[in-house]
Amino acid sequence: MTLASHIATSSRFKDNARAALADADLQDALSFVEVNFIARRREVADRLPEFEALRDSARDIKDHTLAHLDLYLEAYEERLIAQGGHLHYAVTAQDAREIILDICRGAGATTVTKGKSMVAEEIGLNDFLEGNGITPVETDLGEYIIQLRHELPSHIIAPAVHLTKAQIEDEFRRAHTHLPAARNLDEPTSLLAEARGVLREKFLAADVGITGANFLVAETGTSVIVTNEGNGDLTQTLPRVHIVLASLEKLVPTLEDLAQLLRVLARSATGQEMSVYTTLSTGPRRPDDPDGPGEYHVVLLDNGRSSMIGGAFRDMLRCIRCGACMNHCPVYHAVGGHAYGWVYPGPMGAVLTPSLIGIDKAGHLPNASTFCGRCEEVCPVRIPLPRLMRSWREREFERHLSPATVRGGLALWAFFATRPRLYGLATAMAARLLGWAGRARGRFSWLPLASGWTRCRDFPAPHGETFQSRWKRREKAPLPRPGHAP
Amino acid sequence: MVEHEARRVGLLVTCLVDLIRPTVAFAAVKLMEDARCIVEVPRQSCCGQPAFNSGDRTTTREIAAQVIEAFEPFDYVVAPSGSCAGMLKVHYPELFRGDPNWQPRADAFAAKSHELVAFLVDVCGVTRVAARLEATATYHDSCSGLRELGVHDQPRRLLRTVAGLRLAEMRDANVCCGFGGTFCVKYPDISNAIVGKKAANIAATGAGLLLAGDLGCLMNMAGKLHREGSGIEARHVAEVLAGMTQEPAIGLPAIDAADAEAAGAKPTVTKPTATKPTATKPTATKPTGARTGAQR
């Protein structure tokens, strides 16, 4: 079995988007995001008077942690080791993959269960393990579904949100051939029950459990995951070995800080006050514990993040992966997550992806935004996403990576815009010409060099004279009655 | 400045209004003059937003400096666009942050810059307008005005004082129309999908008239509505507030000479601008909402 590759297709964003817009099932599925996530978040945020203050606090906690990341990393490591855990620093994705493979081999593992982890997607862990003879089994329902379909997640908290219920039912019937063909899968709960039944055996058979972490707490050396299905708990308590794979910005100083961040996380993500399960793991099983893993490893991934700390994109490291930005993004609503072509979609992906795979490959992502600002409006840690996307556009422009047509058009426009007198003459001519050409219909359904506009909509014809030239006449002539259009 | 002295306003026309729809600027002038402002129009081109959003900071700074200088003599800078006003008020200071010469000038410029309707309500204290229009309108909140400048209640408050006008709120009025400046031509397919949803929400209100505070968004939405064969008309909110709706709506052909004559009349005129007679003749006493038969 070959799993979906994590090779980026972000440079083909336009083609991806076109395919997504033509995909009726996808468009049907996406309406869930647009309607449900937004309404639920609104409702739960409105119920909490201190929600906006909590967002400020969440931003400040993450900023503070990033400013003193070295200290908190040291504190975290010390606590973790004191409790019998192992910490592995992974500078690159390759390092992380190899560390994890070594741990799995050391445990003699043939099967690993996995809790939902975007960092595991980022490093392409499943492909790698499989290529090395170890079978990864996703246990989050959404991740399980897309693993069956050999796809990447299309959303950071709802990986299979691009699928309709009917598509999932088809997939289950195709994959679960050991079950009666005539079984009823009409209800979402029956799909869930079926996945649970199938996964239960995998949980018990797994040698190693790999989870991500929503947070790492420096004060106690604890890793924290939030889930709604309880699959994470089974993944990390049943196997002999538990590996936590986390990127280094997941660190927070104290349990108190964790509590604050949890209050904005689920509200922003799913519109819940709390996720159903919030699980704290602090080291391997102790002698008196009734259960838990014999070994507890934390693989801390950098993969370019430490170089973001001192740079223009530092604010992005505050991200707590709630998905609110994509839930509120009109572009995401239109094309879904796969069009973005890599692991992280939506506005947060448009900022993070160029940091991780390069602006030369991901240039479309920060450009494919209307800058409507809704993402920033809902971000629980107040990341200025439009400003950061614009910063990427600036880098792209400075490095001459933007398309020649865009640069040429911009240069021509700038030539006039920086010379107001000449600009006035040119626009007066354009207004006259276009006004004359469009006087009968009042609008154009085709214009030279404007097919991007006129393919989908009409363009209004100018009145024939610019405001500034009319105004000049008004200034020369005796003043007409105020408000009287000449 | 002294309480009773007239406010001296420099109008930032915006490049789209200048080129495509001068009526919006004349409406802005009328509204501000009615609010006892002295309005002037210094020579200008554009606020620089196309360059700014394309990542060309050098050109943007050059244009911004030129705009700041041109408007330095005025007490206020007002633009009939939330997007351009947001550029002046929010992004100009960002452009010159840390520049000892230009940052103070950009900050002072930003402090006196306003979006038109917010300026009328929040600065001039305008509470009502003397306009009349028999129509049912729906108002779209353009993104920059809404989220960068907090323009939301002001236009609705003034629109409620337009005699004969009924407001029908659309679903997701605060959601982007898909214009996004150069976005709509760089990613036309996505822009089309977004404006398609917007057009459906507009149509679902049953309103015959679409209003907004930004000509770019209006051109996008009107262009889509026209392409879909809809008869819904689109106008800048300033045109309605100033009672200057004699001009054909966005993207409609020029009216004939007789109607043009009427266009100069006072805004209390209730004559519909439709070029062909409508089934129900609107009168001042009985609003019909069916100005051009556009609702169906």
Q: Does A86 touch chain B (CB under 8 A)?
A: no
Q: Does B130 touch chain A (CB under 8 A)?
A: no
Give the minimum alpha-carbon distance from A168 to chain B in angstroms, rounded to a whole number. 26
Which residue in the set A373, A443, A467 is minimally distant from B25, CB to CB? A467
Split at pLDDT 50, 70, 90, the class of B256 is low
Flag if B30 and A483 touch (Cβ within 8 Å). Answer: yes
What's the farthest any 2 CA atoms get from each other in chain B?
A: 65
Q: Collect all residues with Cβ–Cβ distance below 8 Å to A258 and sequence separation of at least 6.
A: A215, A217, A224, A252
Residue A249's nearest CA partner among A303, A305, A304 is A305
The answer to which of A98-112, A463-477, B101-115 has the lowest mean pLDDT is A463-477
Is the pLDDT assigned to residue A275 strictly greater than 80? Answer: yes
How large is the average pLDDT for residues A22-49?
95
CB atoms within 10 A of CB A419: 14
Flag if B45 and A420 touch (Cβ within 8 Å). Answer: yes
Flag if A468 and B254 touch (Cβ within 8 Å). Answer: no
**Tokens 């300033």 sit at which residue?**
B238
Question: Which comes out higher in pLDDT, residue A357 or A480?
Answer: A357
CB A353 within 8 A of CB A344: yes
CB B251 within 8 A of CB B234: yes
Scan residues 275-294 of B and list those with Cβ closer than 8 Å to A: none
Split at pLDDT 50, 70, 90, the class of B283 is very low
Is the pLDDT assigned to residue A292 strictly greater than 50? Answer: yes
How large is the average pLDDT for residues B144-171?
98
pLDDT tens-digit series, residues A306-339 = 999 999 999 999 999 999 999 999 999 999 999 9
How large is the average pLDDT for residues B187-216?
98
Flag if B20 and A463 touch (Cβ within 8 Å). Answer: yes
What is the edge-to-edge ordering of all strands in the sheet holding A251-252? A251-252, A215-217, A222-227, A277-281
How large is the average pLDDT for residues A459-464?
92
How large is the average pLDDT for residues B51-72?
97
pLDDT tens-digit series, residues A146-177 = 999 999 999 999 999 999 999 999 999 999 99
Scan residues 19-78 of A and list those with Cβ closer than 8 Å to B: 21
Split at pLDDT 50, 70, 90, the class of A454 is very high
On the 0-12 / 13-18 / 19+ scale of CB atoms within 10 A, A477 is: exposed
**Tokens 């019998």 sit at which residue?**
A84
Residue A297's nearest CA partner among A246, A255, A258 is A246
Question: What's chain B's Rg over C-alpha atoms?
Answer: 19
- pLDDT for res A478: 54
Global pTM reads 0.92
CB A43 within 8 A of CB A298: no
Give the minimum alpha-carbon distance from B64 to chain A in angstroms, rounded to a whole number. 9
Q: Does A446 touch chain B (CB under 8 A)?
A: no
- Letter string b/e over residues A148-157, b meaning 16 or more CB atoms within 10 A of that residue's CB: bbebbbbbbb
User: The dihedral of CA A248, A249, A250, A251: what is its sign?
Assistant: positive
Q: Collect all residues with Cβ–Cβ distance below 8 Å to A446 and sequence separation of at least 6.
A: A454
- pLDDT for res B172: 97
**HEC readout, A226-276:** EECCCHHHHHHHCCCEEEEEEEHHHEECCHHHHHHHHHHHHHHHCCCCCCC
Split at pLDDT 50, 70, 90, the class of B263 is very low
Q: Does A12 touch chain B (CB under 8 A)?
A: no
Flag if B178 and A370 touch (Cβ within 8 Å). Answer: yes
Split at pLDDT 50, 70, 90, the class of B2 is very low
- pLDDT for res B4: 56
* Structure ipTM over 0.85, yes or no: yes
Work out the percent of chain B whose per-residue pLDDT is above 90: 83
Q: Collect all residues with Cβ–Cβ distance below 8 Å to A216 and sequence separation of at least 6.
A: A76, A222, A223, A224, A246, A250, A251, A252, A298
pLDDT tens-digit series, residues A195-253 = 999 999 899 999 999 999 999 999 999 999 999 999 999 999 999 999 999 999 999 99
The two structure tokens encoding residue A421: 């007198």
Q: Does B67 touch chain A (CB under 8 A)?
A: no
Residue B109's nearest CA partner among B216, B214, B12, B215 is B12
CB A236 within 8 A of CB A291: no
Flag if B224 and A457 touch (Cβ within 8 Å). Answer: yes
Name beta bridge partners: A88.
Answer: A299
- DSSP letter at A318 equals G
Which residue in the set B46, B184, B248 is minimally distant from A453, CB to CB? B184
Flag if B21 and A460 touch (Cβ within 8 Å). Answer: yes
User: The dihedral of CA B150, B154, B155, B160: what is its sign?
Assistant: positive
- pLDDT for res B284: 38
How large is the average pLDDT for residues A133-151?
96
Q: Does A331 touch chain B (CB under 8 A)?
A: yes
Q: Does A277 touch chain B (CB under 8 A)?
A: no
Q: How far apart are CA A15 and CA A21, in angstroms?
A: 10
**Tokens 């459906």 sit at which residue?**
B200
CB A389 within 8 A of CB A366: yes
Split at pLDDT 50, 70, 90, the class of A406 is confident
Q: Which helix (H) or strand (E) holds A460?
A: strand A459-460
How large is the average pLDDT for residues A355-382?
97
